Structure 1
Amino acid sequence: MLTDAACRNAKCPTDKPRARFADSGNLYLEVAASGSKRWFWKYFSGGKEKRLALGAYPTVGLKDAREGRDTARKLHEAGTDPVQARKIESATQATKSANTFEAIARELHGIKAPGWSESHAAQWLRAVEKDLFPWIGPLPIVDVDAPVLLAAIRRIEGRGSTQMAHDVREYAGQVFRYAIQTGRGRTNPAGDLIGALKPHVVRHHPALKKPEDVRRLLLALPTYTGQPTTVVALALSAMLFQRPGNMRALEWAWIDLEDAMLTLPPWAMKRRKHGKLNGPPHFVPLPLQAVAMLRNLLPLTGQGKYVFPSVRGGGRPMSDNTLNAALRSLGFDGDEMTAHGFRAMARTVMVERIPGTDPEVIEAQLAHTKSGPLGEAYDRAEYMVLRRQLMQVWADYLDQLRDGAKVIALASAKR
């Protein structure tokens, strides 16, 4: 029989590739010429000699090796081949690993992501990695029931992210449905959580909606002491009321100053992936004031790609938070006005304060155009005339509001 000391001192003769050092009950330590040591138990099955690996020494000590031998011998005496039993166990564990919530979620993401927009695919994966994988990711999907899923989502609610909680429940539901479709799941507990989550109260982007408040902002713009490009970006945001992401990443290649037109390519728009790839561009007629601002900006940034480049360089556009930070510095906090609020500001003030404004034309300029023939009509030449008129009258209105004049009519922009 072996001892701990014998195991430590066991060496392979120099003239052999390996040597065996026997213990009791057909257990032995095999020492290779390289010095590595491994435990094996020898047994017979079907008239053939077999051996079961029990681990490497010294990770598996003498006592543990004997316990492994005894466990394997009991299996063998009960009619089970230990080597086959281990193969079955490994296959079972591999199947379980392939059928965990995380494995199936990643598989689904790999299938769906090519058809999603890049931002949605990234957001989907980020959400499940952060809010589901740490709690239910390692579990076989059949073991994730409604209470287990709810406990994970309650953590999201606990940090005050009720909208994200509802989104993650929806994402989980997609995973469970896919598991059922591929024969690896039985139920969809995400569906059972409908009504169990805290309701999400929609909070609209804060915006200035009274003419006197808009005037206050317009008068504040010249007092901005930061980068000159930032104040131009704010002024154009008020005048053109496009999404902040589009405004900060404006490219000179999209702007035709002679034709007074900004053309946002489909891939830059907030659309599903099909719309980004196959949809039409979004046209923004430029009023005279916008053309003048952009011409004045040409000497500053016209040699680069972006109209509003990052002050840090690197060929990047203005950062996400620049416009909101500028609004804060001008005295407009996040509960009063945001960069996204310019859109609601324009829509509300035009409809309520400028007689003759056609809401459908405004929606077209907001890129809220409906799909189908009605939406496409607003891109045709005759409707583009209305859109040009709308943009010019809005810019004139802002000038007159800033200067203290009365509201002006927009009869020419009626359909």
Structure 2
Amino acid sequence: MASEKLTAMAVSDAKYSGKPHKLTDGKGLYLYITKHGKYWRYDYRYGGKRKTFSIGVFPEVSLATARKRLQDARNKLSEGIDPSYHKQVAKLAGSGGDTFKDVAEEWLQKRAEWSDGHRRTVRQRLDNDLLPYIGNRPLQSIEPAEVLAVLRRVEARGAIESAHRIKTLASQVFRFGVATTRIASDPTRDLQGALAKHTEVQLPSITDPAAVGELLRAIDSYTGNPIVLHALQLAPHVFVRPGELRGALWSEINFEEALWTIPARRMKRKLEHKVPLSNQSLAILKSLHHFTGAGTLVFPGMREDTRPISDMTLNAALRRLGYASGEVCIHGFRHTASTLLNERRDFDPDLIEAQLSHVDGNGVRRAYNQAQYVELRRSMMQDYSDYLDSLKQLR
């Protein structure tokens, strides 16, 4: 290990020689001597720029203390945090100033239209990946390179898609800051192309008809919690998104009309979605009603009946049935239905897309779809449920 260049005595004896000069100590630390005093400083690079961090004034800050503060600054830098803003952060802490956290919390409070599930997801991303690193930073002082350093941490753990989603989340907070005159512009706008490209990965699903029949037989043999069993049985017949399935309310189910109406607030695209229920779907729901019909949720959690079962619970049940995570997941039933229905070519692709609640870019056509497709989809859903039953008979 290289020896330190300065000693306490050398620092104490150093004198101004008629012009400012430096006494270096290594690792970027040096004593800057002027006619006004002796100043500890640390030179470093951040975001491609040379910067200087003021550590303190000698003798109030000794050589030993300066080295300790240097190490603290280097640690921050290794975490992607610009140490030059350390004092600003300390001053703002608890002051109610416009930090990233202050603005993020205000922005979050105004998102009354969000579902509880989406709000929990955003809250988790803020708490885990943004606030620990830039939460206490003055909003107007945050630079693109600082945001990129935070995103690189997410990227480094292999979560490429999450890194892009967190970048979008940060941008929403910054744009709220622009709208409320806290900052002039969104620093994430300069990060276009800075992250690794996210490649869309098809969620695991089974599309071979014989294998689908085998999966359906395996589900029927499930001996665990009856709520989980009924969710697994219903999922292939309605092929809605997992969150839409899990969060189903009994008030949304109309047994007389054989129709499940999912309100816009629970839909990914924020548009009401009508799901025609086949005879098989109705039978599953009526069977489940004996277990959970007295409550609000169709699929309440096993520990807390005010919250629905989780994706993890349903996917764990599939693992218990012998299916690996790379073979099938609860979301995969959507791809299964889309593939089987399109391959059979018995129904217009627009019907399939409407049932999958994929939004049509044409507003007039979308309105027509909503008005006209329900009865056509009802025929398709009954046909598909009958087809699934026939697959279960294949051996």
TM band (smaller chain):
0.5 to 0.7
Whether 1:282 and 2:280 are equivalent positions in the alignment is no
Where do 1:117-266 residues align within 5 Å? 119-179=117-177, 184-185=182-183, 188-266=186-264
In structure 2, C-alpha distance between the alignment counterparts of 1:308 and 1:115, rounded to whole Å: 23
Structure 1 residues 353-382: Cα deviation after superposition (integer angstroms, max 9, x where no partner): x232211111111222426232222333x5
Structure 1 residues 300-348: Cα deviation after superposition (integer angstroms, max 9, x where no partner): 3333333333333544433432221111111111111111111111011
Instruction: Classify 1:231/1:179 alpha carbon distance in 2 versus 1 (closer, same or farther; 3 Å).
Output: closer
Q: CA RMSD in A?
A: 3.2
Offset at 1:177? 4.3
Offset at 1:166? 1.9
In structure 2, C-alpha distance between the alignment counterparts of 1:102 and 1:295, rounded to whole Å: 47
Instruction: Classify 1:403/1:123 alpha carbon distance in 2 versus 1 (closer, same or farther; 3 Å).
Output: closer
Residue 365 of structure 1, aligned match among 335, 355, 367? 355
Q: Secondary structure at the match of 2:294?
A: coil
In structure 2, C-alpha distance between the alignment counterparts of 1:133 and 1:228, rounded to whole Å: 40
| Amino acid corresponding to residue 385 of structure 1 in structure 2 | E
Where do 1:99-118 residues align within 5 Å? 99-110=98-109, 112-114=110-112
The unaligned stretches of length 5 or more in structure 2 are 1-59, 61-87
Instruction: Classify 1:148/1:319 alpha carbon distance in 2 versus 1 (closer, same or farther; 3 Å).
Output: closer
Identity value in percent? 39
In structure 2, C-alpha distance between the alignment counterparts of 1:283 and 1:292, rounded to whole Å: 18
Q: Is the 8 A contact 1:98 1:104 kept in 2?
A: no
Instruction: Classify 1:142/1:315 alpha carbon distance in 2 versus 1 (closer, same or farther; 3 Å).
Output: closer
Instruction: Classify 1:207/1:310 alpha carbon distance in 2 versus 1 (closer, same or farther; 3 Å).
Output: same
In structure 1, C-alpha distance between the alignment counterparts of 2:189 and 2:281, rounded to whole Å: 50
Residue 373 of structure 2, aligned match among 367, 370, 383? 383
Q: Is the 8 A contact 1:97 1:140 kept in 2?
A: no
Instruction: Classify 1:299/1:135 alpha carbon distance in 2 versus 1 (closer, same or farther; 3 Å).
Output: closer
Q: Is the 8 A contact 1:179 1:185 kept in 2?
A: yes
| Amino acid corresponding to residue 277 of structure 2 in structure 1 | L
| Amino acid corresponding to residue 252 of structure 2 in structure 1 | W
In structure 2, C-alpha distance between the alignment counterparts of 1:161 and 1:338, rounded to whole Å: 19
Whether 1:295 and 2:279 are equivalent positions in the alignment is no
Residue 355 of structure 1, aligned match among 320, 327, 345? 345
Offset at 1:389? 0.8
Q: TM-score, normalised by structure 1?
A: 0.65
The unaligned stretches of length 5 or more in structure 1 are 1-63, 65-89, 406-415
Residue 337 of structure 1, aligned match among 306, 323, 328? 328
- Residue 25 of structure 1 corresponds to none
Structure 1 residues 185-242: Cα deviation after superposition (integer angstroms, max 9, x where no partner): 4554322222221222222221112212211201212321212332222121111111
| Amino acid corresponding to residue 240 of structure 2 in structure 1 | Q
In structure 2, C-alpha distance between the alignment counterparts of 1:395 and 1:284, rounded to whole Å: 13
Instruction: Classify 1:187/1:241 alpha carbon distance in 2 versus 1 (closer, same or farther; 3 Å).
Output: closer
Offset at 1:144? 2.5
Q: Secondary structure at the match of 1:132?
A: helix
Q: Is the 8 A contact 2:249 2:298 kept in 1?
A: yes
